[in-house]
Amino acid sequence: MQTLLDGVQIQKLLSTIADEIAADSSVELTGPTPVALVGIRSRGELLADRLADILATRSKHPIDVGALDITMYRDDLASRRAITIPQGTDMNFRLDDRPVILVDDVLETGRSIRAALDALIAYGRPKLIRLAVLIDRGGREFPIDADYVGTHLTQMPGRKVRVRLKPSDAEDIAWLE
């Protein structure tokens, strides 16, 4: 196991991503149609919560946060050996005509993001959708790119990036397996 990021580094990267979001003129933190953050279950959901906390503190305005379950939108659902039980989507706000930032922990092939885009559109028609990821490791199979990236990782075939985050895990850490 090779550690990529510890808890302090993860928090610094989230602060940097929040800075980039706040500086983006296409995304309003306040106003009639403020930004909403939607995390892909399960690690993206935790990152979205943390980003929303940082942005809310800076803007002094609450940020809507939701969790998106992409299980039924995946293109490998039928071929998976283990049965995946959907956790459900949790969004208590409308997406229509507002900017949405989709949040995930690791971006590699783009397949999960493609599934998330399909799932997200089932819940409404956002004004625009941006993508924020903690780690971009390259290796795309779909033409998808993140707008806000914590760190880029050189592609290492055959090695997996794993992320663990509190409170669902004992510690905040990203490592190469």
113-131 tens-digit pLDDT: 999 999 999 999 999 999 9
Q: Is residue 117 within 8 Å of residue 97, measured between CB atoms?
A: no
Tokens 């990821």, residue located: 133
- Looking at residue 158, what is its pLDDT? 82
Confidence band of 78 (pLDDT split at 50, 70, 90): low
Determine the topology of domain 2-176 in CATH: Rossmann fold (3.40.50)
- Looking at residue 139, what is its pLDDT? 87
Q: What is the pTM of this model?
A: 0.93
Distance, CA of 97 to CA of 15 (rounded, Å): 26
Q: Is residue 140 within 8 Å of residue 120, measured between CB atoms?
A: no
- Looking at residue 128, what is its pLDDT? 97
SS3 93: coil
Give residue limits of the domains in the chain: 2-176
- Looking at residue 127, what is its pLDDT? 96
In the predicted structure, residue 42 carries a pLDDT above the cut 90 = no
| 85 or 41, which is more confident | 41
pLDDT 10s digits, 129-149: 999 999 999 889 999 999 999
∠ Cα 143 89 45 (to 5°): 65
pLDDT 10s digits, 59-75: 999 999 999 999 888 76
- Looking at residue 1, what is its pLDDT? 80
Looking at the chain, the whole-number percentage of residues with pLDDT higher than 90 is: 78
